[in-house]
A and B are shown apart, each in its own frame.
Chain A
Amino acid sequence: MAKLHIVNKSPFERNSLKSCLGKSKEGSTILLIEDAVVGALKGTVVADDLSSAIANKNVCVLGSDLNTRGFTEAEILDGIKIVDYAGFVDLVAEHSNVQSWL
């Protein structure tokens, strides 16, 4: 059963998103929360890495953390799903286990 990977640090400051992308399997889910949500933006230096991940992994971002930082759906990469808190809970329930990348 697939794993849920949670990243909460900015990819421009830490290596945790890159580390997660490299060490997660196809078909797993990656959820960006807190400062990590800015990694979902279009046109950034990590956009290519994330676009490759979107091709074979389920990439999600927590909408309220995105809005908190001044961004909306229009500004994030195509293929990234926005979830709310209830969706976050569903993801946890649907996956075999959860790994946090700090």
Chain B
Amino acid sequence: MSEGIKKFMFMNTKAPYGTVYALESLEVVLISAAFDQDVSLAFCDDGVFQITDNQKTDGSGMKNFSAAYKALGDYDINKIYVEKESLEERGLTMDNLMKLTYEDEDDDWAEKTSMYLVTRAELADLIDEQDVTISS
């Protein structure tokens, strides 16, 4: 890894819409992508609800920002960890989530998944590897 690049993990732990944490965190993530750092995202606890598929906000009048997660791949953010236990506690599986992907420039721009299902213990290891963790 080059000098000056740090490992940043954004920990998303809150449900979207009821509070502004999810939207604010997403905006910081997109800004951080401009600084050429090694950025990853983790979704755990109620944070897993941020990336559910088929969010429809026309009834509630809320701003639907879920599509912006699909742009993360274009910002070279392609390490997105989802905690298995958090899904299970909420009756969810990966099938309930959006399919977040990126195009691999080293492999003829093949579309690949950005999402990794990890256990709580594996997430603890990933957190331990980080230089900076930003929780919301």
Enumerate chain A residues within 8 angstroms of B2, measured Cβ to Cβ. none
Enumerate chain B residues within 8 angstroms of A12, measured Cβ to Cβ. 45-46, 89-90
Interface size class of B (residues with CB under 8 A): 20 to 34
Which among B52-60, B71-79, B107-115, B120-128 touches the partner chain?
A: B52-60
Interface size on A, residues (CB 8 A): 25
Q: In the complex, are the beta carbons of A70 and B89 less than 8 A apart?
A: no
Q: Does B84 contact A (CB under 8 A)?
A: no
Which residue on chain B has the smallest CB distance to residue A12?
Answer: B46
Enumerate chain B residues within 8 angstroms of A45, measured Cβ to Cβ. 89-90
Q: Per DSSP, are chain B's interface residues mostly helix, strand or loop, or mixed? A: loop
Q: Please, what's the 1-or-0 string for A68-94, where 1 marks a CB less than 8 Å from any CB in chain B? A: 111110010000000010000000000
- The count of A-to-B residue pairs whose CB atoms sit within 8 angstroms is 74
Q: In the complex, are the beta carbons of A68 and B62 less than 8 A apart?
A: yes
Q: Please, what's the 1-or-0 string for B77-106, where 1 marks a CB less than 8 Å from any CB in chain A? A: 000000000000111100010000000000
Which residue on chain A has the smallest CB distance to residue B98?
Answer: A70
* Among B18, B56, B64, B89, contact of A35 (Cβ-Cβ < 8 Å): B18
Q: How far is the CA of A13 from the CA of B13 in the complex (A)?
A: 9
Which residue on chain A has the smallest CB distance to residue B56?
Answer: A67
Which residue on chain B has the smallest CB distance to residue A43?
Answer: B91
| Least Cβ–Cβ distance between A93 and chain B, in angstroms | 21
Q: Does A41 contact B (CB under 8 A)?
A: yes
Given A64-B59, A70-B52, A70-B53, also A13-B15 (CB < 8 A):
yes
Enumerate chain B residues within 8 angstroms of A68, measured Cβ to Cβ. 17, 55-57, 59-60, 62, 64
Q: How far is the CA of A68 from the CA of B66 in the complex (A)?
A: 10
Interface residues of A (CB under 8 A from B): 8-10, 12-13, 34-35, 38, 41-45, 47, 63-65, 67-72, 75, 84
14 A-B pairs with CB atoms under 8 Å apart are A9-B18, A10-B46, A12-B45, A12-B46, A34-B18, A38-B49, A45-B89, A63-B59, A67-B60, A68-B17, A68-B57, A69-B17, A71-B52, A72-B54
Interface residues of B (CB under 8 A from A): 14-19, 45-46, 49, 52-60, 62, 64, 66, 89-92, 96
